[in-house]
Amino acid sequence: LARIEPNSERSTTVLGIALIKNKRLDEAQELFESYLEDNGDSDIILTNLAKVAAEKGEKEKSLQILWKSLTLNPNQDNGVEW
């Protein structure tokens, strides 16, 4: 998916989640931050970046990123239910 849809929100999300599940947290963080730098804020990408911070034990950072995500889209299921 990342090859046929490079730099898309969907492919970034799928690849990032796979990296998180495989404990490749630094790579996931770099992927999400690169997407945000290139494309601007995305509630979905920010929520997954918050999950990376949480997995790294960075609770305060995780909460700040999640808050920003939910400010962009308060109805985003992935952020609200997490």
pLDDT digits (tens, 9 = 90+) for 21-50: 999 999 999 999 999 999 999 999 999 999
C-beta separation of 62 from 51 below 8 A: yes
- What would the DSSP string read from start to end of 34-82? HHHHHH---HHHHHHHHHHHHHTT-HHHHHHHHHHHHHH-TT-HHHH--
**What mean pLDDT do residues 73-79 have?**
84
Chain position carrying tokens 């996931």: 28
Diameter of the chain measured on Cα atoms: 36
Q: How many CB atoms lie within 10 A of CB 47?
A: 24
